[in-house]
Amino acid sequence: MRYRLEMQEQFNTTLSAKQAFNYIVDFSRIHQWDHTISDAKKVGDDDIGLGTQFDITFSMGGRKTPINYQITKYEPSHSAVLTGVSDRFTAIDTIKINKNEQGCKVSWQAEINFSGLTALLMPLLARKVRAVGAKTIRDLNKKLDQLSDSDSSA
C-alpha cells in the first residue's frame, strides 16, 4: 500500500535570495530550524550543488529514521529539488526563491510518498504531519529573519 501527502507553504523574508537559497539547500543545517531532525551531515567534501547528498536523522515519537537526501535539481539562488529516501517514505522537497522588494519570497512544496505500514497509518496521521510541516516552515522563516537581523547589525 502507498499513501501520498502533499504540503505547500510560502513566506517572505528580508534575507537576500542568494543568502536564503544557500542557507536552505545546505541540509547539513536543517536541524537548526527543523525540530524533527536530530542529526544532519553533508556527504563528501565537494561544494553544494547538483548531486550533493546529506544524511539526515528524522526523529518523531521516540523513533529515529535515517534519510538520505540528494539535490536532484539545482538552479543557484532560484530553485532546488531535494529528494529524500528512507525505508518508510520518499520525500521530494521543491524550494523556489523569488526576489522581492523586502528580500525574497520562499515557496516550499513537499511531496511525501509513504509505503508499508506507515502508508496504512497516514490517513489517521496526515493532519498532524501537515501541522508539523507548517511549524517547520514557520521556524525556517524565523531562522532566516534572525540571519537577516544579524547581517544588518554586523
Q: Domain coordinates of the chain in residue numbers?
A: 2-153
CA–CA dist 131, 135 (Å, integer): 6
Q: Are 53 and 68 in contact (CB under 8 A)?
A: yes
- The tens place of each residue's pLDDT in the chain, 154 residues long, gives 899 999 999 999 999 999 999 999 999 999 999 999 999 999 999 999 999 999 999 998 788 999 999 999 999 999 999 999 999 999 999 999 999 999 999 999 999 999 998 899 899 999 999 999 999 999 999 999 998 877 655 4
* pLDDT value of position 56: 97
Q: Are 138 and 43 in contact (CB under 8 A)?
A: no
Which grid cell sits at 148? Answer: 537577516
CA–CA dist 39, 52 (Å, integer): 17
Which CATH number does 2-153 carry?
3.30.530.20
CA–CA dist 121, 94 (Å, integer): 25
CA–CA dist 41, 145 (Å, integer): 23
* pLDDT value of position 96: 98
**pTM for this predicted structure:** 0.91
